[in-house]
Amino acid sequence: MPKRIYFLDSLRGIAAVTVIATHFAETFQEESLAKEIFQPLGRSAVIFFFLLSGIALSLALKNKSNFSWQEYGAFLVKRFCRIYLPFLAVIILAECLFLGFEPTGIAGLSSWFNAEGTTLQWHVFFENIFMVGNDVDRIDPVIWSLIVELRISIVFPLFYYFIKNKGIKWAAGFVILAFGLGTVVLFAIDQQFMLGQTIFHLGFFIIGIVLALHWDAVWAFSRNQKIAVTAFSMVLYLHVIVLHLVGINLPQVFSDVVISIGCVGILLVCFQSKKAQNFLVQPIYLFLGKISFSIYLVHCVVFIPWIYLLYDTIPSIFVIELLSLPLIFAAAYLSYVLIEKSALQLGRKLEKTINHFHLNLADTGKERMNG
């Protein structure tokens, strides 16, 4: 597997766009066919993000035969810059926006929408800044997944190298343990500190590790098998929509596991299908992939204030949301150029500095031993 697979970035970009559709739908209080269809997409997309992160982090570690404590520190610093610094910038921006126009909610819209930015207290801001895991739906509702991702990054190398050495059986055991223990903790303490969510979602990162290490061991699909696997995987990925339409609600933890199986099927087909890869490396999808993190991070911070700004002028929320789309993509691109890209560059620079410092220490130690 190459060091970077660009069609995976494209998949991340497409998933980020579906999260926008989810939050647009979630703005409405009344139930509708559109809301039933689009609202579950965000959850599926986040699970896809976690699997893709597991693959991407595994690719970053795959060529490191000797992973020292210094390299682990460099890995954490780079990951911190990658996730936390853009997150911090957007949270501060969102807090300033909400403090500026002091939203009080809009009658007729959902409780989810009316919770964003209203009656903010400083403890909420600081809990978000320090990623405590409480009140994550008050400023920028997507940050819960960033908290999970950054926490899991701390232990990810340990799981990667252990699974690489011990094999798939151990990986399967860790996945089952993560799902089981995470579910127990969720039921025991609910949403507190997002501890249960962190443990539960570790399972998806581990699945990503297995895919990165062993995807080429999967038998080659025939054309008919690719069609069948794709269709079946899409049904699993979107099964919550179908169940919602017929009035069936499964426990979320169970649905999440089903969605992850669908994600695995989609990824395996993409790995084997040149047509799918050629489609996904078109410039528009590569662009969405490049700014996908910023799309995910800023879209609520853009369209929620936009609704407050235009609601008295344009009574149709749907029209306002459509008008916000160009602003979302423009803001995401600016966020990528001004914030995310700079954070990435800083992370790479610090990683090189730490590794270079380690090499200098090693060379100095050798000179002393030889001298």
Q: Is the pLDDT assigned to residue 236 strictly greater than 90? A: yes
pLDDT tens profile 320-335:
999 999 999 999 999 9
Give exposure, 272-288, as e/b (b: 16+ Cβ within 10 Å).
Answer: bbeebbeebeeeebebb
pLDDT interval class at 366 (50, 70, 90): low
Contacts (Cβ under 8 Å, ≥6 apart) of 149? 49, 50, 53, 83
Mean of the per-residue pLDDT values of the chain: 92
pLDDT tens profile 172-203:
999 999 999 999 999 999 888 999 999 999 99
Q: Is the pLDDT assigned to residue 369 strictly greater than 60? A: no
Total residues belonging to the chain: 371
Q: Map residue 109 onto helix, strand or coil.
A: strand
The confidence score (pLDDT) of residue 223 equals 92
- Determine the average pLDDT of the residues in 151-169: 96
pLDDT tens profile 122-151:
999 999 999 999 999 999 999 999 999 999
The confidence score (pLDDT) of residue 6 equals 86
- Share of residues in the chain with pLDDT > 70 (%): 95
pLDDT tens profile 16-55:
999 999 999 999 999 888 899 999 999 999 999 999 999 9
The confidence score (pLDDT) of residue 175 equals 98
| Cβ atoms 49, 12 nearer than 8 A | yes
pLDDT interval class at 260 (50, 70, 90): very high
Q: Is the pLDDT assigned to residue 153 strictly greater than 90? A: yes
Spell out the alpha helix ranges (H) of 116-194: 122-129, 143-166, 168-189
